[in-house]
Amino acid sequence: MRIRALLFWAVAAMAAIPAMVGTQGAQYPITVIAPGTGPYTFPAGYQTPWDKIQIRVTAKMSPNLFVLHGSEGLDPAHPDASGGRVMALFGPDGVLMVDTENRQVAEKTLQAIRTFTDAPIKVLVNTHLHSDHTGANAFFARQGALIFSQENLQSELLRPPARANGQPAPAPDMAGIPVAIYNYNAAAPGQPAVTFNMNGETVDFIPMMPSHTAGDTIVRFRKANVVYIEDFYRNFGYPFADQANGGSIRGMLDAVDLIEKLAGPDTTLVPGHGTLVKKKDLLGYRAMLVDILAKVKTLRDQGKSLKEVLAANLTAPYDKTTQGDTQQSKDRFITEVYDEMKDFPPVVDGKRTMPNHP
Ligand SMILES: [Zn+2]
């Protein structure tokens, strides 16, 4: 009798486990601070007050996987929340970071990490080269981080394209250059280049096709069921492909389609900016890319100039549902699509030589 009762208990306990795990999992992600929605305006000559910008934990993706992000309403480059999101996986094996925020808030980013872990900073992966994602690379390398990225990103950081005004870009801080590099394999999209088993989590660094830049990486946390999808998708402002650094609007469409294959319906997708999403939320964005690509192609095939295509106001149907829909944001998007339709320069060492528009 006793044994049977024990067996009953054991079976009952085992049956209860999946339900318990399910309930626990459902607590995540936890949004701590949502990004702002605007609209935002900044006076002419406004300078970002870096001393006022705070870096805080804005979301918890699992008990040991947190998201950090900057304050709302202060940074004109990203008014909804300053800088690019950072993710930190932490525990006895040390800290694995995704991106590093702007250089000016490096110390604050470390302090924010120190509010939840004393573990050493061990691994850093860069999703793309922009300074709101790599600006504090050198700072975190000095904390002990080994930096991983695509080879194209390393090349983009080492040899940045000239600025729009023709001035050469400033020399990089060599301490912040990635040292562990890998490449995108067009024969196997979605295949991880690097996999870490740390702190009870399995983390994949998945190199992407030229999309937001030619050096993009997405980062998958298998157990937490989370993918950091960086900036080829955005829900604040119109799409932006950094074509001079090898990006492509068509590549961003391919990137969205790869996420469709890699993510499950419940996978939380973490963009570099804007709100956290699920893959169904990418459908409207995808449809807009397809629509704009087709409409710009038609006009360019008819011999229309860039000025005429911009004047056609093709983004009008999307303005109502696109937060941060500034004129600058929509003109940049349409100009990029226009440039991709004809004589689009190839990627060489992570860069493209783009035409100058007067
Ligand atoms: Zn970004």
**From the CA of 31, how far away is ligand 1's center (Å)?**
20
User: pLDDT at residue 168 above 50?
Assistant: yes
**From the CA of 213, how far away is ligand 1's center (Å)?**
11
**From the CA of 12, how far away is ligand 1's center (Å)?**
49
**Cα atoms in the 13 Å half-sphere on the side-chain side of 231:** 30
| pLDDT band per the 50, 70, 90 thresholds, residue 38 | confident
**From the CA of 62, how far away is ligand 1's center (Å)?**
23
**From the CA of 299, how far away is ligand 1's center (Å)?**
30
2-6, 169-173, 201-205, 236-240: lowest mean pLDDT where? Answer: 2-6
Q: For position 26, what pLDDT does the model report?
A: 56
User: pLDDT at residue 221 above 60?
Assistant: yes
Closest C-alpha among 180, 175, 178 to residue 196: 180
User: pLDDT at residue 18 above 90?
Assistant: no
Exposure string over 6-30, b if 16+ CB within 10 A, otherwise e? eeeeeeeeeeeeeeeeeeeeeebbe
User: pLDDT at residue 175 above 60?
Assistant: yes
Structural element, H or E, at residue 25 = helix 2-26
Distance CA 54, CA 129 (A): 22
**From the CA of 21, how far away is ligand 1's center (Å)?**
34
Q: For position 292, what pLDDT does the model report?
A: 97
For ligand 1, a single-atom ion, the residues with CB < 5 A are: 84, 231, 272
Sign of the C-alpha dihedral computed for residues 338, 342, 343 and 346 taken in this order? positive
What are residue 149's DSSP bridge partners? 181
Residue 319: which residues within 8 A CB-CB, separation 6 or more? 325, 330
Give the pLDDT mean for 184-208: 98
| pLDDT band per the 50, 70, 90 thresholds, residue 192 | very high
10-14, 176-180, 319-323, 328-332: lowest mean pLDDT where? Answer: 10-14
| pLDDT band per the 50, 70, 90 thresholds, residue 165 | confident
Closest C-alpha among 130, 134, 128 to residue 109: 134
**From the CA of 10, how far away is ligand 1's center (Å)?**
50
User: pLDDT at residue 16 above 50?
Assistant: no
pTM of the model: 0.90
CA distances from 4 to 7, 10, 60, 182, 300 (A): 5, 10, 42, 57, 78
**From the CA of 85, how far away is ligand 1's center (Å)?**
8
Q: Which pLDDT tens digit goes with each residue over 294-347?
A: 999 999 999 999 999 999 999 999 998 888 888 999 999 999 999 999 999 999
| pLDDT band per the 50, 70, 90 thresholds, residue 11 | very low
Give the pLDDT mean for 35-53: 94
**From the CA of 2, how far away is ligand 1's center (Å)?**
62
**From the CA of 35, how far away is ligand 1's center (Å)?**
14
Q: Which pLDDT tens digit goes with each residue over 121-140?
A: 999 999 999 999 999 999 99
**From the CA of 129, how far away is ligand 1's center (Å)?**
9
Cβ atoms of 82 and 94 closer than 8 Å: no
1-10, 185-194, 263-272: lowest mean pLDDT where? Answer: 1-10
**From the CA of 332, how far away is ligand 1's center (Å)?**
16
**From the CA of 39, how far away is ligand 1's center (Å)?**
19
Closest C-alpha among 255, 250, 282, 254 to residue 268: 282
Q: Higher model confidence: residue 2 or residue 203?
A: 203
Q: For position 167, what pLDDT does the model report?
A: 83
**From the CA of 128, how far away is ligand 1's center (Å)?**
8
